[in-house]
Amino acid sequence: MQESASLAQHLLQSSPDALLVVDARGIIRYANATTESLFGLPAAQLVGQPLDVLIPERFRTRHGALLAGFVRAPANREMGARINDLFARRADGVEFPAGIRLSPFSYEGTDCIAVAVRDMTERRMISNALVAAREEADRANRAKSRFLAAASHDLRQPMQVIRLLNASLLRLIQADDVQRDLLQRQEQAIDSASNLLNALLDISRLESGAIEPDLTAVELAGVFAGLQREFEPSAAARGLNLQIAPTDLRLLTDRTMFVQLMQNLIGNALKYTEKGNVLVEQQLDADSLILTVVDTGIGIPEDKLARIFDEYYQVDSHAGTKRQGVGLGLAIVREVARILGFVVTVSSRQGEGTTVRVRIPRKQLLRDARQAAGSAPAVARAVPAQRCNVLLVEDNASVRAATEMFLGLEGFQTRSAAGPTEAEALIATLQPGDILITDFRFGGTVTGLDVLHHARSRHPFRVPAVLLSGDLESMLRAIREPVPDCRFLSKPVDVQVLLAALAELSAAHPP
Ligand code: ADP
């Protein structure tokens, strides 16, 4: 008994923390030996002094109020929410960051507080170093994203040329099956490279923090109709049933990003489903609209679920099935959800299917569906093309030449100009039924949209047009007003989509 009391005494004196007992008025009643090494004052000298002597002057008033509060509602707790908040003061006036724990107790009828103080200098240095390392990593990550954005953007022009030249060759080589097969394979490879470029550009732009959401009223029905049109052909080709539940809800959100998120989720559901259905449904609960994308596909193993939102992550057990993506789709979903304030969760059973839930805060829901701005961008449907005349305005010589060749082989009469100024004379000669195809960005401030407005102002008829851009999203953001009889397409353009757009425009604008 005596031994354990003596042991407790030693423990108290040489505890790694400085230990003090303070009364309700803040007067030090006891200090252990560690107090001396921490504060540079013998314990005996501290007893009877106010606790304030150990606190930097600028904190004393606040500390008095905190002590009074603690006495009113005593509890065992750590002072200060973050270690960087608290400082103590040595006898020589030097301050150090301190971690302080308080514990109330009663001694011979008097309320007392046990105070344990430890020097946090080292921990704070480590914490600062971690913050600095994190900031450095973030900076490096943003630089990587900017580089990726620039590189993938610049690769689009040559990719566009390759795509058009390949399409032209495919057109020319009719007879030889071997050559045709080779070109078709090449076309598939070009499509994959284009998809990768698009995904890289999307993710790097989203991650670089350069994108501010452009909030407008978005009618879900319009977006879903567009998605149904976009995915229906591939679902049908694979014998899958794609069903999107009708809705009249409207959201205040960024249309482009919202579409991008849904495209990735529906695209995945179709990609990873061999047979059965892909359903898109909506549900309202007390605080959210929940959009679910449910598939009856191969599912995702439980231990992989946490990683599927990482960049370039693909589930290995899907290796047996043909890989179709690059592992960026869900990273894009993650970034879009972060920007738009959605929460995306996934549940899945291997071999049975996957359900993705997108939780959208109810405050983003709008009431009156009639005021919705804009409708879904029309997805071109191929109808037999009428071969009209085309005026092409494109500043990149290789893209211009490849486009001219491709359109020529497709039977279009094409005249081209290297920029808005050069296009001037040709614009004057446009006839009803002629279509303008123009790049959106040229070197200066004049855009393809300006070229189109100018062309329309010169003629009594409405000139139909296709606007092409290496950065479709930025082009759509830059265009504030709806532009009738104009299709907006991304470079490198899918030649079938371009032909379908030309067919649609020319059907609506016969010569
Ligand atoms: P990917 O381009 O490979 O589809 P994502 O980032 O979109 O990349 O998805 C990451 C991985 O998550 C996919 O490779 C796939 O293994 C898995 N995955 C995503 N959605 C589904 C789904 N609906 N069903 C099964 N597996 C899925």
C-beta separation of 31 from 47 below 8 A: yes
Write down the pLDDT at residue 371.
Answer: 39
CA trace torsion 296, 298, 299, 300 (10° rounding): -170
**Ligand 1: does its nearest atom lie under 6 Å from the Cβ of 313?**
yes
Domain locations along the chain? 15-119, 212-376, 389-508
- Structure confidence at residue 83 (pLDDT): 47
Q: In terms of CATH, what superfamily is 389-508?
A: Response regulator (3.40.50.2300)
329 lines ligand 1 (CB under 6 A): yes
Ligand 1 proximity of 273 Cβ (cutoff 6 Å): no
Q: Any idea which fold 15-119 has?
A: Beta-Lactamase (3.30.450)
Q: Is the pLDDT of residue 236 over 60?
A: yes
Nearest ligand 1 atom to the CA of 326 is: 2
Cα of 64 from ligand 1 centre, angstroms: 58
Q: Which atom of ligand 1 lies closest to the CA of 318?
A: 16
Strand, helix or coil at 458? helix
Atom of ligand 1 at shortest range from CA of 353: 24
Angle between helices 448-458 and 420-428 (to 10 degrees): 20
Q: Which atom of ligand 1 is nearest to the CA of 311?
A: 6
> Exposure of 353 by Cβ count < 10 A (0-12 exposed, 13-18 middle, 19+ buried)?
buried
pLDDT at position 321 is 55
- Our answer on whether the CB atom of 267 is closer than 6 Å to any ligand 1 atom is no
328 lines ligand 1 (CB under 6 A): yes
> For residues 387 and 78, which has the higher predicted lDDT (pLDDT)?
387
9 pLDDT band, cuts 50/70/90, is confident
Q: How remote is the CA of residue 356 from the centroid of ligand 1, in Å?
A: 11
The response to whether residue 486 sits with its C-beta less than 6 Å from ligand 1 reads no
pLDDT at 381 over 50: no
Q: Which of 302-306, 412-416, 461-465, 493-497 has the lowest mean pLDDT?
A: 493-497
Give the DSSP H/E element, type plus range, for residue 262: helix 255-271
Which stretch of 130-139, 292-301, 501-510 has the lowest confidence by average pLDDT?
501-510
167 lines ligand 1 (CB under 6 A): no
Q: Is the preceding omega at residue 492 within 30 degrees of 0, hence cis?
A: yes
Ligand 1 pocket, 305 CB below 6 A? no
pLDDT digits (tens, 9 = 90+) for 164-198: 999 888 888 766 778 888 888 888 888 878 878 88
What span, in angstroms and rounded, lies between the C-alpha atoms of 76 and 79?
A: 10
Indicate left, alpha or beta for 40 from its phi (over 0: left) and psi (-120 to 50: alpha). left
Rounded-to-integer distance, Cα 14 and Cα 82, Å: 27
Contact 289, 312 (CB under 8 A): no
Q: What's the mean pLDDT in 86-94?
A: 91
Look at residue 447 and tell me whether its pLDDT is greater than 50.
Answer: yes
314 lines ligand 1 (CB under 6 A): yes
| Residue 111 φ/ψ region, left for φ over 0, alpha for ψ in the -120 to 50 degree band, beta for the rest | beta
The verdict on pTM exceeding 0.75 is: no
**Residue 21 C-alpha to ligand 1 middle, in angstroms?**
60
- Mutation pick for ligand 1 pocket among 272, 274, 318 (CB with most ligand atoms within 8 Å): 272
Q: Is the CB of 298 under 6 A from ligand 1?
A: yes
CA angle (394, 448, 154) in 5-degree steps: 55
272 lines ligand 1 (CB under 6 A): yes
Between the CA of 277 and the centroid of ligand 1 the distance, in Å, is 17
Q: Which pLDDT tens digit goes with each residue over 354-367?
A: 999 999 999 999 86
Report the C-alpha gap between 11 and 148 in whole angstroms: 59
Q: How far is the CA of 489 from the centre of ligand 1 (A)?
A: 26
Residue 334 Cβ < 6 Å to ligand 1 = no
> What pLDDT shows up at residue 1?
63
State the Cα–Cα distance between residues 202 and 179, nearest whole angstrom: 34
Task: Identify the pLDDT of residue 322.
Answer: 54
Q: What separation in Å is there between the alpha carbon of 198 and the centre of ligand 1?
A: 17
Distance 330 CA to ligand 1 centre (A): 7
Q: Which residue has the tokens 């996957």?
A: 354
**C-alpha dihedral over 426, 431, 437, 442, to 10 degrees?**
30
pLDDT at 369 over 50: no
State the pLDDT at residue 290: 96
CATH number for the domain running over 212-376:
3.30.565.10
Region 110-134: mean pLDDT is: 91
